[in-house]
Amino acid sequence: MPEPMMREATSARRPWRQRSLVQLTLVRFREFLREPEAVFWTFVFPVLLAVGLGIAFRNKPADAVVVGVVTGTASGDSLATRLAASPALRVERMSDTTAARALRTGEVALVATAGAAGGIEYRFDDTRPEGRSARFTVDEAVQRGAGRTDPVRVSERRVQEKGSRYIDFVVPGLLGMNIMAGGIWGLGFAIVEARRRNLLKRLVSTPMPRAEYLASFLFSRFVFLLLEVGMILGCSMLLFGVPVRGSLLQLLAVCFIAALSFGGLGLLIASRAKTTEGVSGLMNLAMMPMWVLSGVFFSSSNFPAVAQPFIQALPLTATNNALRATMLQGAGWAAVMPSLAIVAAWGIGCFVVALRIFRWR
């Protein structure tokens, strides 16, 4: 028999750091922070993405519309001169063949040709927004130059409000996408990797409480979540002035519930798979439709009405709806409750099934 005096410290007087839940959670941090790629994709990438999108879709003062005018005839030259006087237009003088090519490649939004009988022909692609707006801008200049007067007097007031720009739309979407990816990748990959390496089996051959192993993933997710949300929100508030109109506490609560729910989904995806290739396929299968359908980069209302019940029931759609309502509309608890209920239902359902079918060996 082993000497009893060789045994040390019973759990009752064990320092907190030596408790298994603390140790398991520390392992999660260590493994994550020692994987530079993971740090990049989780923290740096979403910020870069937000910055990139913010710059690409920044609201700029309306550019002058570029139009081509076929010159070389007297009526053509005169048309070019008249149009060039309008501040809303930039006129490119060109031959008929050059004009056709410029229109095709999008260098000009519209080509105007003066006809023999004093008429003017507009050539443009009516499926392109620039083409349609160029047609009205050019026509306005032509008709007004010819002396048209408006029967109704109108006035304009220009409004550019924070909260309705593209960057304002996309930041909550990126936040939701990141929470989803963190939960699914963070749990799914690490668990399957541990199973593949026989590490899960080794762990359950010790007295380790299994619930603590799974809990360590959720605890570490929560800590990373605070950092992720802080990074993305902080950067987009500083750089683009993206607003948080609702309560910050409510926003965090939405993030936490979503992180729990996607953690459950990640656990479910990882519950049986034995290879990392297998689980990657499952993860993509789960995430891909939501990237497209759930209103990350563009509104999910673009999809046909018949698909809407399905799309609205997706956890990422519900998460994004709750995030946008809280950030952009300043909605209160009552307004986000239906979305949160969907998110929570997914989470509970996934956890229940995952724990039932989980393969520890």
Partner 1 sequence: MTLAPPALRVAGLRKAYDDVVAVDGLDLTVNAGECFGLLGPNGAGKTTTIEICEGLTAPDSGTVEVLGMTWASDERALRERLGIQLQETQLAEKLTVGETVQLFRSFYTTGRDVQEVIDVVQLGEKVHARVGKLSGGQKQRLALACAIVGDPELLFLDEPTTGLDPQSRRQLWDLIVELRASGRSIVLTTHYMDEAERLCDRVAIVDHGRVIALGSPRELIASLGAEHVVEFTTGAGGHALDRDELRALDGVKAAREQDGRWTLEVVELARAMPALLGELGRRGLRLGELATHSATLEDVFVSLTGRQLRDA
The structure tokens listed for 95 are 């031959």
Task: Considering the complex, state which of residue 20 and residue 133 has its C-beta at the smaller distance from partner 1.
Answer: 20
Q: Shortest Cβ distance from residue 133 to partner 1 (Å)? A: 56
Give 101 or 201: the residue with its C-beta nearer to partner 1: 201
Nearest to 204 by CA among 196, 195, 215: 195
Nearer to partner 1, 10 or 127 (CB): 10
Distances (CA, A) of 28 to 4, 21, 198: 33, 11, 17
CB of 195 to partner 1, least distance (A): 11
Least gap, CB of 344 to partner 1 (angstroms)? 32
Judged by CB, which is closer to partner 1: 144, or 202?
Answer: 202
By C-beta, is 195 or 324 nearer to partner 1?
195
CA gap 128, 264 in Å, rounded: 44
157 versus 356: smaller Cβ distance to partner 1:
356
Q: Yes or no: say if 350 and 261 are a contact pair by the CB < 8 Å rule.
A: yes
- Concatenated DSSP letters for 59-117? --PPPPEEEEEE-SSHHHHHHHHHHHTSTTEEEEEE-HHHHHHHHHHTSSSEEEEE-TT
Q: Let me know how long the chain is.
A: 361
Partner residues linked to 146 by β-bridges:
none
Residues of the shown chain interacting with partner 1 in the complex, contacts defined by CB under 8 A: 1-3, 6-11, 18-20, 22-24, 26-27, 30-31, 34-35, 194, 197-199, 201-208, 361
CB of 33 to partner 1, least distance (A): 9
Beta bridge partners of 120: 114
Half-sphere exposure of 322 (CA within 13 A, CB side): 30
Q: Nearest distance from residue 218's CB to partner 1, in Å?
A: 18
**How far apart are CB 190 and partner 1 at their closest, in Å?**
10
List beta partners, residue 128: none
